[in-house]
Structure formats: structure tokens, C-alpha cells
Structure 1
């Protein structure tokens, strides 16, 4: 399991603006749709985090929109962000009122956005990061990944990159200046959770994938979780469906429990209706689609009240990697 040390004496680095996936290039107005006038008390925009490339996230989130609009006199517009960083940029530039974000944004955006609540997936307010390989890869433990190619999530993804980097580091691999730079002992390829898993399965040059458990737990036989992580067995919403996918993957590592992603609200959103919107989100009980819906269901069942303090484990991950997010928060 990942050991999240809180070593605040370490030299800290800051993610720099760049043309890479973490940089703010492409976050100008053209990246997000026109959100309309933010002065209107009945029109609000929610920015959505692009965690999985194969999901129509606007359709996926429609039950939450329908619930908010049924409880409060507002019209909710959904925008898919171009990157993890773009969710915070939309909040920072006052172009969105609400944000579906990665857990890292609760730390990175603490000066521009408030945590409305922590999302719960069928009773579980915590989730896990997995590192997997192909069963015939010859990779038996994390240290075997030295000199190999690892397919990872986006550079700001907690379960797809940040936590796995600490797991690899604690296994003795030199992670260098990753994730804003290159690791020394292995090559990291960044994309999203779905793509990372697909690259592992389809590209023989990729030795392992680092993803959220929601992406690859179904590929791992239950007995491997039973042997490796009691926390996963007891806490993970993904354990029930473990081993049900056709393509089997071998489990190399499971993280400690992580707080699930928050829904955040822009701190300077000063409108009386904000309280009603937040209350509606926290009171939502049925976020399922109609029976004729054929797309991906919303991955969380409800939202419980939360705060930035819930994401202190993520701060410890950033501290261990020596990272700050001043340039995007």
C-alpha cells in the first residue's frame, strides 16, 4: 500500500505552465462553451472533469441536473473541461459556478472553490488506486517496473497518477521530478483511466497501468484483492464486480483508501440561490436515469457534506511528491 508520509521539510516544486497536459495552454475561452451571464440568478454552469474518454459525461450527469432544476429555480448548463486543470481554470476565471473535480482540486483550488460535498458510490465515500499488469508479463512486483513503460492517468489525477507515483517511489523506484517532469527509473505515458487500461491490454510495450479502481477492478479476480487489501474488500464499491470482465489483469498494488472526488462551488459565487443549489445537491437521493437510457450511469449515488479537511490525505500525497499547485489554483 502507498505510504503517505507528511514530510513538509522536503523541497517543494511547483507545477509550471506548459504546453503539456497539466499546462494551461488551451484553457482560453474557446475550451469551454459560452456560460452566459453569471449575473443571472437562474442560469448556472457546472464544469465537468474529463476522467474517462469513452463516457458521454453530459448525458451521464443529467439526473443531477434534473434534480437540481426540480428543487431550485435555476437552469443548469453542463460543460466538459478540456483537461483536469481546466476545471479549476473555469472556476478561477468565474466561468463556472459548480465543478465536478478530481480530489486534487480540493487542495489545488482551496483558495478559489469550496467543497460542497464528497460523492458517495453506493455507500462508499472512499475509493482506491490500482496498479495492474498483464498476467503473462513476468512483472511480479512494483520494483520489476524499472526500465519499463507505465501507462498512467492524467498528470493531475489522484488515483491515475499522483498516488501511484508515491506507490512506485515507496517501492524503491526513482520517480525523478514526476509528474510534472519525467521519472528516472521508468517511462510514464499519461492519458486517462480508460486509455491507460486499453494501452496496457493492447500495447505489448506497456508493462503496467495505473488507474482508479473504477476503471480496472472488474479485470482483477476477487481472490487477488482478498490476498492484498483488506481495506479494498471492506470499503470499495468496486469489489463486488471484481473479476467480471473478460480481460483479466494481474494486481500489483492497491493504494490506501482515498476520499472520493468532491463537487465544488466557486468561493466568490455570491448569490442567495447558491445555498439552495448546494442543499439540493446534498439532499439528492435518486440519481438514476430512466429505463430507456443506454449510456453510462452516473458513478455516484449521492453526495454527503464535506470540506477541505476531508482531503488532507491528498495534501500528504502532494507533500510526499514535493508538489504545489500555485500556478493552477
Structure 2
């Protein structure tokens, strides 16, 4: 494996400022004075004060730009996230001095790297992303972790590598010379942990992955652009194995249980991964970061129910609550990245 820069050292928590009691803005006023002259002449001099700017801004405009990871299909964005984004906008307008008409707009990134870099550039204010991408965002100064999400009954989740049903691949070492799909270079469950297991347990040379193109690896990598997409490549027979989050196999996000069993079998899985965080742009003020954090912590359960407002229907979000979090909660992911020697070159 080529020598690469270390990823992250064990570090203290990276958080936001303490809870802000509240924000308030000044109000402008106006007045005029008139000086009377002769009976047929009058002049007046009016003075006005400028309307004060809002005390809290986001990205330099009147919109909170919410970055969504590529694991969310474009067609699901509006129906799944609309109530959540509506709540965040309402909370900010009602509790803080923000620009009049402030709105929240969701955008799906082309990949995890694009989401993280847009946070660093200040064009995205807040984003939901994966643990590895978030931790690397902290390392590069592009993101700060403020929340962790809870979903499918746990604060943890699973990474899996699947092969076609009936495949003669029975152990990780059998992937030598094969084509393997990964969801995204910065995916924790769809790339980082699978590569770690293939290297440490399977004894495979992973070359300069996940940073490089994989030309030196003992297998051929193929990046699908998402977890379900990785499964789809396996289903279509385009790859010999596919790495993805276990939720593709275990939840309605992917195929039904019957469909999965007819297409794939699990070759390997890693358990206990910390569920994905929500991060903010370092460009925001401490007050703005805290306001966004509190908007989630004080939100009603209904923001997770999707556009129809009903729990247990197809447009529900995959996560159902959040809790405060920082870099410390993702130290295990950081350690795995360090083991693989992943550095900031992955953004190049």
C-alpha cells in the first residue's frame, strides 16, 4: 500500500457553543424635523435610520441550505424531508433574529465529498452525512458534528458485503481478482469498513483505496454512487460482490426479504457502527450552529413522518430522533480510517 497521510488522531470533542438564551435584533425608527420660514416658504429635512440587518444569517443569504447525502433518492427528497425543513425554518423565524422570509432548501450532493466540501465553502449550512465523511470533514476543517441520528431501533448499524446467491465466493480472500461494488468512497458502511475487513481479515491488497482509483488493488473496485445502487449492480450481475449498509438488506430501503434471498447472500458483516451524524458549516456563527442544533432537539416527532404526516408510511424518514454528538462519538470510525492510512487526499 502506498504511504499516505494519517487520517485523524484521537482528539477532544468538536462541538458548538453553549445554548444561547436567545437572539434579538434592534429596531429602526424614523423621524423628521421641519423649519418654518416665511409664510409662503417651508422647508423640511427628513432623517431616517436604516433598517438593521438580521442578527443571524446563513450562507450570506436568506436560505438555510440543507445538504442531503447521495444515499437519498432524488424523488424521495421532497416527500421525506419537507416537514423537517419546514420545522427548522419555522423554529429559526420564531425564536431568532433571522432575515425576513428565511427558508430551508434541501439539495442532494453528487457524492459525500461534494457535500462536505460545500460545507467548507459555506454554500451548504447544515447536512446529513455518513460517519466517515463527517469525521474527515472535521479533520479538514470543512464540518463540525452537532448531532447523531437514531434509526431502525438503534444508535448503531451494520456494514455488509454481499455476493450473488449460489456464488462460489465463500470467504473474503475469494474476492481476489473479482469486481466489487462500493457505494461511495466516503461511505462508512459501503466502503471504509468493507475495505478494512477485506484487508485485515481477507488478506487482500487494497492498494491506495479508498483515495485512489484502485489500480493497485487485488480486485477491481466499482463505485456505484449509493447503497441501493451497489445492490442493484449485484442484482444485474455486473459485479461479483457488493458492499453496502446493512439497511439495504434489513429494511424497506432496499429489496424485500424474499427478493434479497433470491438475489444475494451475505458474505461478511461488521456490526456496531455509530449511526450517521448531522453536521454544520464552520463558517456559521456559534449562535447559528446552536440554533440549528436546538431546532432538531426540540422538534416534534411529526417532522420524521414525511409529507403525509402519518407515522409508519412510505415517506417516513429512516431516522426518528437525534441526540447531541461530537467527534468523540465517532472515534471508532476514525481509528479504522487511520488503520487504512486514509488522508485528505481523498478530496482531490
Which TM-score band (shorter chain)? 0.7 to 0.9
Deviation at 1:52, TM superposition (A): 4.4
Instruction: Say if 1:77 and 1:324 are closer, same or farther in 2 by CA, change over 3 A.
Output: same
CA distance in 1 between partners of 2:145 and 2:282 (Å): 9
Match of 1:12 among 4, 13, 26: 4
Maintained 8 Å contact 2:80/2:305 = no
Which residue number in structure 2 is paired with residue 160 of structure 1? 190
Deviation at 1:324, TM superposition (A): 0.9
Residue 39 (1) aligns with residue 31 (2) = no
Match of 2:249 among 202, 216, 221: 216
Which residue number in structure 1 is paired with residue 208 of structure 2? 177
User: How does 1:23-172 map onto structure 2 within 5 Å?
Assistant: 38-40=59-61, 43-53=63-73, 56-73=76-93, 74-110=102-138, 111-170=141-200, 171-172=202-203
Maintained 8 Å contact 1:153/1:161 = yes
Instruction: Say if 1:151 and 1:39 are closer, same or farther in 2 by CA, change over 3 A.
Output: closer
Instruction: Say if 1:44 and 1:188 are closer, same or farther in 2 by CA, change over 3 A.
Output: same
CA distance in 1 between partners of 2:245 and 2:75 (Å): 15
Gaps of 5+ in 2: 8-56, 94-101
Deviations 1:61-108 (A, max 9, x none): 112112213322142111121221111111111112111122113221
Match of 1:288 among 298, 305, 310: 305
CA distance in 1 between partners of 2:74 and 2:86 (Å): 23
Residue 316 (1) aligns with residue 344 (2) = no
Instruction: Say if 1:216 and 1:327 are closer, same or farther in 2 by CA, change over 3 A.
Output: closer
3-state SS of the aligned residue for 1:297? coil
Deviation at 1:247, TM superposition (A): 3.3
Maintained 8 Å contact 1:54/1:194 = no
TM-score normalised to structure 2 length: 0.72
Gaps of 5+ in 1: 1-9, 16-35, 220-237
Instruction: Say if 1:260 and 1:318 are closer, same or farther in 2 by CA, change over 3 A.
Output: same
TM-score normalised to structure 1 length: 0.76
Maintained 8 Å contact 2:210/2:346 = no
Residue 298 (1) aligns with residue 344 (2) = no
Which residue number in structure 1 is paired with residue 290 of structure 2? 275
Maintained 8 Å contact 2:305/2:315 = no
CA distance in 1 between partners of 2:315 and 2:177 (Å): 37
Which residue number in structure 1 is paired with residue 235 of structure 2? 201
Deviation at 1:151, TM superposition (A): 1.3
Maintained 8 Å contact 1:103/1:261 = yes
3-state SS of the aligned residue for 1:72? helix
Which residue number in structure 1 is paired with residue 326 of structure 2? 307
Larger Rg, first or second structure (1 or 2) = 2
Which of 1 and 2 has higher RCO (CA within 8 Å, sep 6+)? 1
Instruction: Say if 1:328 and 1:149 are closer, same or farther in 2 by CA, change over 3 A.
Output: closer
Deviations 1:218-248 (A, max 9, x none): 59xxxxxxxxxxxxxxxxxx9xx99724231
Which residue number in structure 1 is paired with residue 40 of structure 2? none
Deviation at 1:254, TM superposition (A): 0.9
CA distance in 2 between partners of 1:79 and 1:101 (Å): 12
Deviation at 1:297, TM superposition (A): 2.7
Maintained 8 Å contact 2:210/2:342 = no
